[in-house]
Structure 1
Amino acid sequence: MNYPSIAAQIVAAVGGRENLSNVMHCATRLRLTCLDESKIDADTIAELEGVKGVFNAKGQFQIIFGSGTVNQVCDEVLKLTGGQPVQPQPKAEAEGSVINRFIKMLSDIFVPIIPAIVAGGLLMGINNIFTAEGLFVSGKTLIELYPQFADLAGMINLFSNAAFTFLPVLIGFSATKKFGGNPYLGAVLGMIMVHPDLMNAYSYGTGAAVPTWNLFGLSIEAVGYQGTVLPVLVMSFFLAKLETRLHKITPSWLDNLTTPLISILVCGFVTFLAVGPVMRTAGNLLAYGISWLYHSLGFIGGRSVRPVLRPDRLNRHAPQLHRD
């Protein structure tokens, strides 16, 4: 399959590079946001080699290629557009209901990091093969049977946890980019939130002593945000807006120095002082709420309900056996 040729034909059929405002892909589809959708020649694209279907959805023209192929085509399209498509126009972002725009925002943030999450999840599955008790022999794990594989299992376990341990870094990069800020500053903010000098988030609430910073009479908990989503999402938005504002009011000869400094300094303080603890609590409440729905509402909450069989009632209707 000639990926450069397919990409060139796609760019031409959607009205050229100047008509593209955003280029990305998910697991199977190439997602294009165009400034003028009337210029899209969907019939021509549908006939291209490897294309399994085309459709418009929520302001995006989506081309179905399938897993693997879509990555290659997307890379070639990005080469033709310089790797940095122009930013979407405000009009395109304003289309649809509030809920649709919110879902699209989350999609744009999380779709690029799905491969990292998939890799981590599959590696966890491989690690479970090594460490699951009774999977091959009753009462024993595979590494107990073959100790020579213990170090291999340990390495795989480390690889599998990396994406989840440093999840705020991935989300910080992707979300800050989506909100119009410097994605590398977003990644730095995520790194701050999972810095090894902080108390690990998984140890928080277990009874272990919580370290604190004492600043100007305030006691701030020095706790990390490993595996969290809400704190870094909110702070990425705040970072992007602060950075954009600073670019507008800072003299050009100072901008490259002071804007990153002030952005990270302010956002770091705000994260640990207010937004982080509040969002951590909100995330915990959300998790408790979902757990309550699942365990309390039966099939409405998604949990199958099995009838409780009472022996006294069963015996009442069971056929009676009589001896002659």
Structure 2
Amino acid sequence: MKTILFSLPGNQELTELLAKKMDAEIGECSLRKFPDGESYTRILSDVKGKCVVMVCTLHNPDEKLLPLYFLSHTAKSLGAMCTCLVAPYLAYMRQDKVFHEGEGVTSTFFGKLISGFADSITTIDPHLHRISSLGEVYDIPNRVIHASNEIAKYINQNIHNPVLIGPDAESEQWVSDVAKKAGAPFIVLEKVRHGDRDVEVSVPYIDKYKESTPVLVDDIISTARTMIETTEHLKNAGMKPPICMGIHAVFSGNAYQDLWDADVKDIITCNTIPHQSNGIDLSDIIAKEVTELMHHI
């Protein structure tokens, strides 16, 4: 079965990388808005009998969802065999329970919505907190890709004498996994509570790592507050400026500049959300997993 990739606006670079690695063509489509704000969709390539792969990372998801929905249904109406969604960043994963009376569990609603028009979904390190697997909220075949191997490889190849830093106990499992794969040491900042409002943060084994390059690793960099606070603690402890690494470059508001202003050495993210900080390309593993998943549909 032939594969044809369609890039939703802003996803062109990743789509081109995937097309080369999957030996697939890139389809042409026209997506725009009418003067009254309604979405217009037209597919200009032949999709009959082909597997359509829609590449659309889902930060700022509300404006992307309807064009995606129309593109999928239009492709099916033109004879496409299947429509597969590649969403490197997957939105609406945090509201996975009712926190306050009157709320809805929007992660489940969003999963049902996408499962209604896509035949499969491939994503990277979604925020699975109280949800143990993506299959709990998506009724379609799915692949969850982990970026830790590629992050570890980048650390190995580009960072001299690294020590990975976890900002708190919750981050230990994630940071230790990357550190193990990178063959690098890691430490987790410790909070010592002296009173209700008096909490001291200490950096353990500080003398051992004074000459190391601190590497802060997180899955999503949104407001960057945790990284900025951690950078301050490292500075107070006498460590070098850190390299900040994240999978998903959400960077809400002025977060990117705020992080630079905190006196960091570098900011590196994966290319799940297009951003100037992208330094780790995940297209190899995405192409491999999408190809395998298509054979199971």
Normalised by the size of structure 2, how large is the TM-score? 0.26
Higher RCO, Cα 8 Å, sep 6+: 2
More helix as a share of residues: 1
Structure number, greater radius of gyration: 1
Normalised by the size of structure 1, how large is the TM-score? 0.24
More strand as a share of residues: 2
